[in-house]
Amino acid sequence: MSFEPCPSSLIDTHCHLAGDEFVDDLEAVIARALEAGVTDAVCILDAASGVERQRVDRLRQLWPSLRFAAGLHPHHAAQVAADEVTRLVSEVLAQTSAVAVGEIGLDYHYDFAPREVQQVIFADQVALAVARDLPVVIHSREADADTLAVLDTHGGGRARGVFHCFTGDQALAEAAVSRGFHLSFSGIVTFPRADALREVARWVPADRWLVETDSPYLAPAPRRGGRNEPARVQAVLETIARCRGLSIEEAQAQAWRNANAVFGATPPSRGRVDTPTTMC
């Protein structure tokens, strides 16, 4: 499955529209997204949640171009028996014709599951993604070295995808890009104190950045703290455009191409680290 090239469209590459937070006014949320020019989104499904799976048909009806990704989040790594994870995630991938495995990864900030368990569950899903030739959507928090180690060990040099809600430093950005990965920026890049992150957004090669909302989380400035929704991906795009010296139209077209490279049929080139010519 690939996205049709449409440079005037905007895509929110990471949102949780199947969550409880959107049940009451999903139609209005989607209408606002479309009005804002956000024609597409990747909806992240929690593979362990039967409730989210039940909402897929309604989501599809309301937003036919919506794509899905499915995975077992590190927060829930202890909720499913390790030998069941691959079967469970495979089932949801098939049910939804998913374009990616995710979100998956390691979260050592909350440590909701033991770290060894998180690592095993992450590794199995990386292997699954590689076997299916699907990208991964990675959630990595305070776990940079182990995240890279799992990708290197279990990706067999073929893992690709995106570090979602990227908040890492320059070293992690370079490590991710040199492995062929994309960095996805969320509303955090709009926060007043996020100068270091905006530096990364300026540095990242032109073909390696994406924008997302992570709705309902991470509302961009100035609505910080409220419920987020896909329409607000525009604010993230505007910040990235400003950092990189692009017009909104140029940024939008680039974001679209990059999303297509990750979630469409054509894998991105690997190992390239070119330096952008634009400045913040």
Q: Which is nearer to Zn ion, 47 or 241 (CB)?
A: 47
Q: How far apart are CA 250 and CA 265, in angstroms?
A: 23
Choose among 90, 143, 135: nearest CA to 112. Answer: 143
Report the residue count for the chain: 280
Could you tell me which stretch among 186-194, 212-220, 223-231, 272-280 binds Zn ion (CB under 5 A)? 212-220
Determine if 212 is a binding residue for Zn ion (CB under 5 A). no
Task: Of 120, 183, 170, give the one whose Cα is nearest residue 146.
Answer: 120
* CB 237, min distance to Zn ion, A: 18
* Nearer Cβ to Zn ion (214/229): 214
Helices (H) and strands (E) in the chain, counts: 10, 8
C-alpha dihedral sign at 9, 13, 18, 24: negative
Three-state DSSP class for 68?
A: strand
Q: Which two tokens stand for residue 53?
A: 């799976």
Cis peptide before 276 (omega within 30 of 0): no
Annotate each residue in 91-130 with x if it binds Zn ion (CB under 5 A) or - if it does not, as one string.
Answer: ------------x---------------------------
3-state secondary structure of 263: helix
Q: What is the closest distance, in whole angstroms, from the C-beta atom of residue 161 to Zn ion in the complex?
A: 13
d(CA 71, CA 126): 10
Crossing angle for the helix pair 144-154 and 170-178, nearest 10 degrees? 10
Residue 100 CB, shortest distance to Zn ion, in Å, is: 12
Closer residue to Zn ion (CB): 107 or 124: 107
Closest chain position to Zn ion (CB): 139
67 binding Zn ion? (CB under 5 A): no
Give the nearer residue to Zn ion in terms of CB position, either 44 or 159. Answer: 44
Counting residues that bind Zn ion (by CB under 5 A) gives 3
Contact status: 75 vs Zn ion (CB under 5 A) = no
Half-sphere CA count of 79, side-chain side, radius 13 A = 12
Alpha-carbon distance 177 to 163, whole Å?
Answer: 10
Chosen residue from 214, 215, 231, 237 binding Zn ion by CB under 5 A:
214
- Closest distance between Zn ion and the C-beta of residue 63, in Å? 18
Q: Which of 53, 67, 75, 139 binds Zn ion (CB under 5 A)?
A: 139
- Output 109 or 193, the one with its CB closest to Zn ion: 109
Least gap, CB of 103 to Zn ion (angstroms): 5
Determine the Cα–Cα distance for residues 187 and 224; give it in Å rounded to an integer: 9
Stretch that binds Zn ion, among 33-41, 94-102, 133-141, 176-184 (CB under 5 A): 133-141
Q: Which residues bind Zn ion (CB under 5 A)?
A: 103, 139, 214
